[in-house]
Structures are given as structure tokens and as C-alpha cells.
Amino acid sequence: MSTPLPGFENIEGPGGTDGADRTGRADRTEGAEHGNGHGSRAPHASQGPRQPGAAAGAPRREIAPGAIHLPGWLPLARQRELVTACRGWAQGPAPIRHTKLPRGGVMSVQTVCIGWHWQPYSYTRTADDVNGARVAAFPDWMVELGRHALAAAYQDATAGHGYTPDTALINFYDGQAKLGMHQDKEERSPAPVVSLSIGDTCVFRFGNTETRTKPYTDVELASGDLFVFGGPSRFAYHGVTKVRPGTGDPACGLTSGRLNITMRVTGLDG
Ligand SMILES: O=C(O)CCC(=O)C(=O)O
Ligand SMILES: [Fe+2]
């Protein structure tokens, strides 16, 4: 069964490391991720994200049309709340695990989903490749967070209106995990993807909609960073080429590794 989440589940422990197997470095194009989750407690909605531009450090940057990097958007306290929520989902109803790929590979990333369960290459309500359990509900507070994220990224108070993400893939990367270039394309909606990063910095490669090769831009995603891709970039290829171990601030709630949450609108009913 699934391996525990080194460095994540046991965040009080020694700076952990490696997860079960890192044999696979999964290409999402070829593999997937998935997960499941289970009820969690909502981070306090009272503490909103920072205003655009208020983060220390790097400025907001449009990486490609519709693809925005907003560094330091999530305050540390909010990061910790998300880590706590994700830790709960990682435990069940379907535990986080390394997704198996159709051709026998295993992803190096560990994933758990909420709302809908993703496995290569479709969404279901139950985690059929894990334990068959129905995944945790997608909480209202995360819908709100997604709406705030769009408003901040697009610098438009109305940008989040009507945005109702119904699934999130929650990925945990140890120091060796990677994610191959892929498109998020199982969704039947063109609504933007909202990505939040916590813990160690990674190199996020954001490319184009035609090919998984160049042209692309490598972006350092650090703890608290928001990345949104919508509009003409919604179906661009992207991936994680490397994690930089030891770069995260333990005050974010993770002593090692990287957590990434991507919210999406599946466009599915039922
Ligand atoms: O970890 C990341 O920053 C990207 C994750 C991703 O692309 C995905 O879950 O589809
Ligand atoms: Fe993706």
C-alpha cells in the first residue's frame, strides 16, 4: 500500500526524505496522479491572502498570456493551515500514494485528491486505484481561496466571480521527486488552474500548448507562491524539473519537501 509521506505526514520528525520509491519519475502525460482525501478542517477564512504586490521579494510576473506567477501570496499562517488540512486528506479516506502509470511506472510524486479523484487519465468520485473509497468533499473555504487567487493573479476583483473549483490534486514532493511535462487536460472546462506551493522551492517549467519541449520558462516556485494558468495558457505543458531540498522555512508547517495544491474545475456532474 501506500508509503507514508516522509517529511510530510511526520512533519515533527527528522527532516525526512525520501519517499517510497522514486523510481518513477512520472510523466504526467503518461502517468498521473491522484489521491484522495478526506474531510479536513478549513483554514480560517478570516485570514485572507496578501494583496497582490504586497509580498516581499519578487514581483508578479506574467510568464505567458494568462499564466501568472505571484510570489509570496500566502502568509505563513495560511500555509500552515493548508499543510494541516492536506495532512488530514493524505491519511484518507483514500491515502496519499505514488500513482501507478498505465505502462507500469510509478510516479515519484505522491498525490491525494479531493472533490474528484484523478488517475490516468480520468476523474472519478472514488479512488478506484487506491482503496475504492469516495474522496473527501471539496470544501467551500477552498473555493473561496481559489476565487481570491484569481482576483489577485489577474489583478481584477471580478476575475474569481463564478469560479467554482471542484477538485484539487495535492502533490507531495520529496527532494528527488519530479513531474514530467504534461497538460492538465482531463477537465472539460477551460477555467483556470490555481496552483499553490508550500515548503521547499522547486523549478517549475511552464511551456506552450503545442509541445512539451521548448519554448518554456523555468520559474522558481517558493513557499507561499501562487501560480495561475488560464486563458490561452490553460492547456500549456508544464512540469517540475527539480526540488531544492532545505530551502523551505519549517514555519510553513513542513520540515522538508514540497507541497503543491492545484485546484481545477472538472466540468463534470455527479
Ligand atoms: O507541483 C506543481 O507545481 C505542479 C503540479 C501539476 O502540474 C499537477 O498536479 O498537474
Ligand atoms: Fe499539471
DSSP label at residue 29: T
What pLDDT score does 57 carry? 74
Percent of the chain with pLDDT over 70: 79
CA 13 / ligand 1 centre spacing (Å): 26
Burial (CB count <10 Å: 0-12, 13-18, 19+), residue 75:
middle
- Decide if pLDDT at 63 tops 90: yes
Alpha helices in the chain (DSSP H): 76-91, 140-154
Average pLDDT of 68-91? 97
232, 28, 58, 42: which is closest to 138 by C-alpha?
A: 42
Give the pTM. 0.85
Average pLDDT of 164-169? 98
Query: What are 205's strand-pairing partners?
Result: 218, 239
Tell me the C-alpha distance between 71 and 7, whole Å. Answer: 24
Q: Is 91 helix (H, G, I), strand (E, B) or coil?
A: helix
**Beta carbons within 10 angstroms of residue 208's beta carbon:** 18
- Domains (range + CATH), the chain: 61-264 (2.60.120.590)
What are the angstrom distances between the C-alpha of 7 and each of 21, 77, 172, 178, 246?
14, 19, 9, 16, 11
Q: Supply the ipTM of this predicted assembly.
A: 1.00
Q: Is 258 helix (H, G, I), strand (E, B) or coil?
A: strand
Q: Is 60 helix (H, G, I), strand (E, B) or coil?
A: coil
Q: Would you place residue 270 in the very low, low, confident or very high pLDDT band (cuts 50, 70, 90)?
A: confident
**Is the minimum distance from the CB of 108 to ligand 1 under 6 angstroms?**
no
What pLDDT score does 29 carry? 39
Query: What are 193's strand-pairing partners?
Result: 229
Residue to substitute in 69, 178, 260 for testing ligand 1 pocket (most ligand atoms within 8 angstroms of CB): 260
Residue 237 near residue 181 (C-beta atoms within 8 A) = yes
Percent of the chain with pLDDT over 90: 78
What pLDDT score does 42 carry? 41
**Is the minimum distance from the CB of 169 to ligand 1 under 6 angstroms?**
yes
146, 152, 192, 198: which is closest to 172 by C-alpha?
A: 198
What pLDDT score does 16 carry? 30
What pLDDT score does 83 carry? 96
What pLDDT score does 74 carry? 98
Q: How many Cα atoms sit within 13 Å of 160 on the Cβ side?
A: 18
* Among the bound ligands, the one closest to the CA of 239: 1
Residue 256 near residue 200 (C-beta atoms within 8 A) = yes
Q: Which amino acid belongs to residue 92?
A: G
Average pLDDT, the chain: 85
Over residues 122-160, the pLDDT tens digits come to: 999 999 999 999 999 999 999 999 999 999 999 999 999
What pLDDT score does 8 carry? 56
**Beta carbons within 10 angstroms of residue 209's beta carbon:** 12
CA 262 / ligand 1 centre spacing (Å): 6
Over residues 1-59, the pLDDT tens digits come to: 334 444 454 433 333 332 222 223 334 533 333 222 223 334 433 334 444 334 457 89
What the block records as the C-alpha cell of 235 is 492547456
Question: DSSP string covering 218-250, please?
Answer: EEEE-TT-EEEE-GGGTT--EEEEEEETT-S-G
DSSP label at residue 69: E
CA 167 / ligand 1 centre spacing (Å): 13
